[in-house]
């Protein structure tokens, strides 16, 4: 029974409160409100210089790199090793009610912490499709999301995205940020490129980086008047502007994918951390990229509501001096369901309950979702 083990969620603040800036990070939940079985990939191909490096490590190689033990809850969370046996022992992962409990615990132990959503949130389930993402918008508001960028959100169409930003997010104090989205005519900003928030007396700039290839990966007619891209030069100017305005820490909330983020960290100076998404990599430790006097922490927080990244930055003077990072798996057996979030989930599913419970087939095997390609559930 994993509940008898020491809780992996006893994570005190790494530094003194006056020196600390804490950020919580989720990404790519793909509208999964309920716990699921989700198996990490057994293969993750790294090409050329990335071969054999994070995020392209799996199985025992990943455990060795992260100094994790086989046959442990962490091995179940981060690898595909002995998945069926481990799934029976440790149960389902994710679920917004369980995630909400974890977010509340982390915010209670880290005063002023911000919750960042890396996108791919409003799409991926039946109820998200039927409500045009409203179920996830309401869930994000209740979860306490502070800042968000996007990708599959744009498949709801530009008008719907702007409707959510104006009518749901702004009244709730949530900012949708993306420095790399502009109008196709006059190159005007569509969203705020970044926001500055003060945490424990320290100004922190969070820059948004939406998925740069949205018009290629998804039909162009969803966002016909918007232009995307990596926009490296504009990003450098945005970082410089944030520094000039007094930011003690600069963080990129990215939906580039981890390989792109790793390269971007070698080309743009002054970013302290990249909290990334898109490639669904559950990476137990960040990669540190050094460029001149700066170092950038590059991470990726998995998918499907399975993980919550916790980043503690230590600020000395006006610069980041040290950090601690933990990617916490959301074990539904170890985290009690939050009552408010459970009630919301029940409410949004209620009108569709009969259709959702329709039996299509039965199976004797474990059905699970899997990383970037497919799993037994998809097949």
Closest-CA residue to 202 (of 249, 240, 242, 241): 249
What pLDDT, in 10s, does the model give residues 129-150?
A: 999 999 999 999 999 999 999 9
Sign of CA dihedral 93, 58, 211, 275: positive
pLDDT at 273: 98
Q: Is 37 helix (H, G, I), strand (E, B) or coil?
A: coil
**What are 21's strand-pairing partners?**
313
Residue 210 token pair: 């939406």
- pLDDT, residue 5, reads 46
pLDDT at residue number 68:
95
User: What pLDDT, on a 0 to 100 scale, did the predictor assign at position 364?
Assistant: 86
pLDDT confidence of residue 232: 97
Mean pLDDT by 10 residues, the chain (379 residues): 62 93 98 95 90 95 96 96 94 97 97 97 96 98 98 98 98 98 97 98 98 96 97 98 98 98 97 97 96 94 97 97 97 97 98 95 84 70
Please tell me the predicted confidence (pLDDT) of residue 6. Answer: 54
Treating both helix axes as pointing N-terminal to C-terminal, what angle do 339-349 and 134-143 enclose, rounded to 10 degrees?
170
Contact 31, 369 (CB under 8 A): no
Q: In this predicted structure, what is the pLDDT of residue 8? A: 81
pLDDT for the residue numbered 370: 76
Q: How far apart are CA 121 and CA 155, in angstroms?
A: 12
Q: What is the pLDDT of residue 277?
A: 97
- Interior angle at CA 311, CA 255 and CA 228, nearest 5: 15
Q: What is the pLDDT of residues 258-278, one digit of tens each?
A: 999 999 999 999 999 999 999
| Contact present, 325 and 272 (Cβ < 8 Å) | no
pLDDT at position 326: 96
Which residues have C-beta within 8 Å of that of residue 375, sequence separation ≥ 6? 39, 367, 368, 369
Residues 6+ apart with CB under 8 A from 371: 39, 40, 41, 44, 280, 303
Cis before residue 55, ω within 30 degrees of 0? yes
pLDDT attached to residue 11: 87
pTM to 2 decimal places: 0.96
């Amino acid at each position: 029974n994993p509940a008898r083990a020491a809780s992996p969620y006893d994570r005190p603040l790494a530094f003194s409160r006056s020196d600390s800036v804490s950020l919580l990070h989720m990404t790519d939940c793909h509208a999964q409100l309920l716990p699921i079985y989700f198996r990490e990939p057994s293969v993750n191909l790294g090409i050329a210089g990335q071969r054999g490096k994070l995020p392209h490590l799996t199985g025992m190689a990943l455990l060795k790199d992260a100094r994790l033990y086989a046959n442990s809850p962490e091995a179940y969370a981060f690898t595909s090793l002995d998945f069926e046996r481990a799934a029976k022992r440790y149960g389902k992962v994710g679920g917004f009610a369980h995630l909400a409990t974890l977010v509340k615990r982390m915010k209670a132990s880290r005063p002023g912490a911000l919750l960042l959503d890396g996108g791919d949130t409003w799409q991926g389930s039946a109820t998200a499709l039927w409500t045009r993402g409203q179920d996830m918008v309401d869930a994000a508001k209740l979860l306490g999301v502070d800042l968000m960028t996007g990708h599959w959100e744009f498949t709801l169409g530009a008008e719907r995205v702007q409707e959510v930003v104006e009518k749901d997010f702004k009244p709730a104090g949530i900012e949708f940020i993306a420095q790399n989205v502009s109008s196709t005519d006059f190159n005007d900003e569509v969203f705020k490129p970044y926001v500055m928030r003060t945490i424990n007396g320290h100004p922190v700039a969070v820059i948004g980086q939406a998925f740069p290839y949205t018009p290629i990966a998804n039909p162009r007619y969803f966002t016909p008047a918007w232009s995307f891209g990596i926009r490296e030069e504009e990003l450098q100017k945005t970082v410089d502007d944030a520094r000039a305005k007094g930011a003690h820490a600069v963080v990129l909330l990215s939906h580039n994918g981890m390989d792109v983020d790793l390269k971007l960290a070698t080309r743009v100076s002054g970013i302290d951390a990249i909290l990334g998404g898109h490639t669904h990599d559950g990476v137990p430790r960040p990669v540190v990229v050094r460029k001149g006097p700066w170092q950038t922490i590059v991470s990726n927080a998995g998918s499907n509501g399975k993980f919550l990244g916790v980043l503690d930055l230590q600020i000395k003077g006006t610069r980041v001096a040290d950090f601690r990072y933990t990617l916490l798996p959301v074990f539904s057996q170890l985290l009690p369901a939050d009552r408010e979030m459970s009630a919301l989930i029940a409410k949004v599913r209620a009108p569709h309950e009969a259709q959702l419970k329709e039996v299509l087939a039965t199976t004797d095997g474990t059905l699970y979702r899997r990383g970037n390609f497919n799993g037994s559930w998809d097949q």
